[in-house]
Structure 1
Amino acid sequence: MADLESKEDTVTSNVAKKEGGPLPTTQESTASGPAVSTPVTSFDVEDQTAVSPGVERGYWGSNAEFIMAALAITIDYSLIWRLPYMCYRNGGVVYMILYGIFLLLFGVPIFYMDLSLGQFCGKGPAHIYNLSPLLRGIGVGMVVVIAMCHPLYSTITSWSLYYLFQSGSTVLPWSTCSNMWNTISCIDDHTASFNTSQDSYMFRMLSSPGEEYFNRRVLDISTGLEQSGGLRWQLVGCTFATALLIFAALFWGVKVTGKVMLVTVPLIFLLLLALFIRGMTLPGSLEGVKYALLPSASSLLELQTWTSALISAWYTIGMATGVISTLASYKRFKSTALRDSYIVCGVSLGVGMITSMMVFAFFGAIAQHKGVAMHNVVTAGPSTVYIAMAEMLARLPVPQVWSFALFFMLLLMGLSTQVLTAEVVITAVLDSVPRRSRLIRIVITAAVCGVSFLLTFPYLSEGGIYFFTMVDISVMRLSLYVFGFLQLLTVGWIYGIEQLSRDIKMMTGLRPPVVFKPIWCFVLPPLSC
């Protein structure tokens, strides 16, 4: 590896000539021979403005665009159904406090590392880990996992779009038991009353109209994994529509994607705030909030509470996915890094708390309406939103408006996440081609969107929910541990924290906080095992 200190002055002058652009390789032309390229460090760093005449790799139009894109990754589906549910099952406010501590203590350093690697290298994760030739497959593996998980997000987005279309019905189809897909076990306000003393609704294993709508109408779930069944063509159509929207947001590069994020993310915040205010006004909502805020000292003694809070924090900042480093690779070389890390993690924590309180307010309203105890309101997974919250909104005045708000927010979350995860794959391919052009960008974007659409088909079948659960557990969760550990090992011990600190100082003018170094080297690696 070349000596960084001896080349710092040359690099700084070259960067100044680029007016704050990405770090170029040092190129000196002489009369006697061609230009010689000398790498600054072991990173594979390129002159991003000279890859193809008249075509540059592209940058965010402003730092606000990057922040909004990063927030779109941290504020996704997991924040509205996984985080509240884990809080619901693991001690309420105790779990939320642990989650906040882990997000600020460990999430910020991880986010900062990913951001710095992408911004310094100016490439996606598939090329960042060239800093250690033996372990360069880490970045490639991250891209492969993202490519495998993209169809999962497409599936959830198709559900949201389908519900959004149905929100325009005169009578919301998940509010009654008088539909053709309902069974004799379906029970609603017009068919029976609930026995509040014995929780007969749960005891008798009766089904609600929202549950039957999701399971029998939307998914039409088969009896098992071996019975894949036919495709749900309504969902196929919704997935195709979302694929077209994703292509439209991606084909022209980050300059257009950034503008899309500036619109979608604030709109998500506004819709979330409206649902939060409405949820707090529901009868029984205060009981749900009290349930969340009532501390459970016994949960502190359970290992599951601590590990679940830690994993939730890692999910929030997109650890070991390569998404943040990909987004950071489109930042200007001299852009801020530490400040952006605190902004994104801090806002994500605040939004997570507001979202959890909103969901608990709905839980309290559902519990009062059904006459059940708080601990019997919902089960894990999509049922939090697509069954429980959908049913509660269907009982409000003008339910179409509130259902539209909920599922439009979920649709925006899904589309934003899909756009940015697809960008990881597109960037990995573009960084590997010797010449860039707008036509190549369009072709690669179309290919990624098209292949992802086709790979979504198994999840859109009658047995698709079983495939969905299997891939979610075996791919997404397992990769978090494997690639997280390998990333920390490679950057912290092989490339070296001191070398990384010098790189960051060259880039931003400031070394990383001293406390980050032991966290990167000694605390996080064993925790990620």
Structure 2
Amino acid sequence: MYVTAISPVVLTIIIWIRALTLPGAMSGMAYFITPDFNRLAHPEVWIEGSVHGFLTLGLLGTDGHDWNDAIIGTVVTVSYGLFNGLVIFSVIGVVLSHESGIPIYKVITSGGFSLGFVAYPQAITYFPVPQVWAVLFFIVLLLPGMDSQTLLMEPVFCVIEEIFPDTIGKRRIPLLTGVTVITFLLGIPLVTQAGIYMFQLIDWYTATWSILLIAVIESIVYSWIYGGDRLSRDFQLMLGRPLPVFVRVSTAFITPGVLVFLVVVSIFKYKPPSYGNYEYPGYAQIIGWCFSIIPIIPSIIYMIWIVKNQDGILKKRLSSLLNPSVDWKPADKKARPVYQGLERNYKRSFKDLILFNLMGRGGYEQGTRETEDKHLEMDIINKDIHV
């Protein structure tokens, strides 16, 4: 991980330094950092930005440990992304434009896949000894790909091992080998002559509204079903401080509101996929919508299955399922009695929850004397345990 995380940074700096020695580097970077505020009026910009945020920062959730990790990881990721933009535009927007005599805005006709895998390698051919720079460029792409794939697949392995603890759970090497072989075989079609069209179709549908919809559901579950007050309590137990104000308000109000708006806009602004001048036929769009629905289907199936296996009428089943499981408790045994006592005395109205999510008051904070005593006991325990 040290090699795959640090080497691309070093190689990117080398490519950037070489680009700076060629004519027009500063004008290319100036083009990159010069804002076009008219673009903010286009909903597609906000949709692409939000999706890119989930895809980029989602990796931090698999490897972070606390609030500081989240902040540092976000700052580093965004900063490195901006630096990569400077490097790309110092190569594409400057070298290619300078050598060909074409204005930068005409060279940069599209972004995404075309920018990184078509225009950028083409621009490297203008470097002296282009073979060397091409090798460096694809190493820069390969190593972070291996790094991110490792982080993305680790939760998959953990889930499989926890479902089958006595069999597969004890055989990490065979599991790793099997999943690697299967995913390798599934990826072969994407490196054929038609691979770019398959990749574009999958990326067009799987990396858009389904991600936004899942994020909306998650924020609602955290803040309004499990409850922001419970979440803040758990946060304090683990880190010794309550949920930060911005995170509380953002998770409860800003995030779901903005994402619901973007989901609606993405539906009304939908346009069929295309790659260059190629327009995908109707059957390909149907396949694409299937790709888009697949990530959501397991959650729907599991939801139906778990509701079906509950006892009582439907209203009672839903009510019981919307409460935390009795098995949900701290890992530290010292904190369990206090934590479970708080849960037994947990009483708050929806109005209390709104007040807490908005101002940090309500729910537990306005509870009974017994609840307040439990809070005091929890504070004492917090000084003695580290989760």
TM-score (normalised: structure 1): 0.46
Contiguous gaps of at least 5 residues in structure 1: 1-260, 329-335
- Which residue in 1 is equivalent to 2:56? 316
Of 362, 367, 370 in structure 1, the residue corresponding to residue 97 of structure 2 is: 367
CA contact (8 A) 2:26 2:90 kept: yes
Q: What is the match of residue 444 of structure 1? A: 175
Corresponding residue number in structure 1 for 2:291: none
The CA deviation string for residues 344-402 of structure 1, in whole angstroms up to 9 with x for no partner, is 00001111111111111111211111111211114333332333222332232232322
Residue number in structure 1 paired with 2:126: 395
- Partner residue, 1:354: 83
Alignment check: 8 A CA contact 1:367 1:374 kept: yes
Q: 2: distance between equivalents of 1:390 and 1:305?
A: 25
| Preserved CA contact (<8 Å) 2:160 2:168 | no
> Structure 2 residue aligned with 1:407, among 138, 148, 155?
138
Partner Cα separation in structure 2 for residue 312 and residue 487 of structure 1: 18
Matched, 1:423 2:180: no
1:342 match: secondary structure: helix
Q: Deviations over 1:71-106 (max 9, x none)?
A: xxxxxxxxxxxxxxxxxxxxxxxxxxxxxxxxxxxx
User: What is the number of residues matched between the two proteins?
Assistant: 258
Q: Is 2:208 the counterpart of 1:477?
A: yes
Q: Give the distance between the partners of 1:437 and 1:450, measured in 2 at CA.
A: 16
CA contact (8 A) 2:51 2:212 kept: no
TM-score calculated relative to the size of structure 2: 0.62
Match of 1:291 in 2: 31
Which of 87, 106, 128 is equivalent to 1:376?
106
The equivalent of 1:226 in structure 2 is none
Give the superposition deviation at 1:519.
Answer: 0.4
1:344: which partner in 2? Answer: 73
Alpha-carbon distance change, 486 to 395 in structure 1, aligned in 2, over 3 angstroms: same
Q: 1:397 to 1:421 in 2, by over 3 A?
A: same
How far, CA to CA, are the matches of 2:114 and 2:22 in structure 1?
20
Would the alpha carbon gap of residues 437 and 456 (structure 1) be closer, same or farther in structure 2, given more than 3 Å must change? closer
CA distance in 2, matches of 1:437, 1:307: 40
Cα RMSD for the two superposed structures: 2.1
Q: Which residue number in structure 1 is paired with residue 4 of structure 2?
A: 264
* 1:482 to 1:433, Cα distance in 2 relative to 1, 3 A: same
Match of 1:506 among 232, 237, 250: 237
Checking the alignment, whether the CA contact within 8 Å between 2:219 and 2:252 is kept in structure 1 is yes
Write the distance in 1 (CA, Å) between the matches of 2:187 and 2:129: 34
Find the aligned partners of 2:212 and 2:228 in 1 and give their Cα distance.
21
Residue 300 of structure 1 and its aligned partner are, at CA, apart by 3.8
Runs of 4+, deviation exceeding 6 Å: none
**Identical positions, percent:** 28
Q: Which residue of 2 aligns with 1:487?
A: 218
* Alignment deviations for residues 169-226 of structure 1 (CA, whole Å, 9 cap, x no partner): xxxxxxxxxxxxxxxxxxxxxxxxxxxxxxxxxxxxxxxxxxxxxxxxxxxxxxxxxx
Q: CA deviation at 1:439?
A: 5.1
1:382–1:355 distance in 2 versus 1, CA, 3 Å: same
Alpha carbons of structure 1 residues 489 and 351: separation in structure 2 relative to 1, 3 Å: same
Task: Specify the code of the residue in structure 1 equivalent to 2:75.
Answer: G
Matching of residues 187-206 of structure 1 within 5 Å? none
Q: Give the Cα–Cα distance (whole angstroms) in 1 for the partners of residues 43 and 194 of structure 2.
A: 34
User: Separation in 2 of the partners of 1:524 and 1:397?
Assistant: 48
Corresponding residue for 2:341? none
- CA displacement, residues 453-512 of structure 1 (integer Å, 9 cap, x when unaligned): 121233233322222111112223232112111111111111111111111111111222
Q: Residue type of the partner of 1:426?
A: F
Deviation at 1:325, TM superposition (A): 4.3
- Measure how far apart 1:418 and its partner are: 1.7
2:189 counterpart of 1:453: no
Distance 1:325 1:439, change over 3 A: same
CA offset digits 1:111-142 (Å, max 9, x no partner): xxxxxxxxxxxxxxxxxxxxxxxxxxxxxxxx
Task: Give the Cα–Cα distance (whole angstroms) in 1 for the partners of residues 248 and 171 of structure 2.
Answer: 40
Partner SS for 1:347: helix
C-alpha contact (below 8 Å) 1:284/1:364 kept by paired residues: yes
Indicate whether 1:517 and 2:248 are aligned. Answer: yes
Question: Is contact 2:51–2:207 with CA below 8 Å preserved after alignment?
Answer: no
Partner in structure 1 of residue 116 of structure 2: 385
Hey, what does 2:19 align to over in structure 1?
Answer: 279
How far does residue 435 in structure 1 lie from its aligned partner after superposition? 2.9
Pick the structure with more helix per residue. 2
AA at the equivalent of 1:364: V
For 2:225 and 2:167, how far apart are their aligned partners in 1? 32
SS in 1 for 2:112: coil
Quick one: distance in 2 between partners of 1:477 and 1:426? 25
CA 294–324 in structure 1, closer or farther in 2 if over 3 Å, else same: closer
2:138 & 2:243 partners in 1: Cα distance?
A: 41
CA distance in 1 between partners of 2:118 and 2:44 (Å) = 26
For the residues of structure 2 that align with 1:428 and 1:282, how far apart are their CA atoms?
50
Q: Structure 1 residues 299, 465: CA separation in 2 closer, same or farther (over 3 Å shift)?
A: closer
Q: Which amino acid aligns with 1:443?
A: P
The aligned amino acid for 1:281 is T
Amino acid at match of 2:225: I
Using a 3 Å threshold, how does the CA distance of structure 1 residues 356 and 505 change in structure 2: closer, same or farther? same
Q: Answer yes or no: is the 8 Å Cα contact 1:282–1:361 preserved in 2.
A: no
**Deviation at 1:522?**
0.6
Q: Is the 8 A contact 2:51 2:208 kept in 1?
A: no
The one-letter amino acid of 1:415's match is M
Write the deviation string for residues 8-57 of structure 1: whole angstroms up to 9, x where unpaired.
xxxxxxxxxxxxxxxxxxxxxxxxxxxxxxxxxxxxxxxxxxxxxxxxxx
Aligned letter for 1:411? Answer: L
* 8 Å CA contact 1:425, 1:448 repeated in 2: no
Q: For residue 137 of structure 1, what is the aligned residue in structure 2?
A: none
Structure with the larger RCO, 1 or 2 (CA within 8 Å, 6+ apart): 1
Contact 1:422/1:448 (8 A) holds in 2? no
Q: Distance in 2 between matches of 1:439 and 1:325?
A: 25
Partner of 1:465: 196
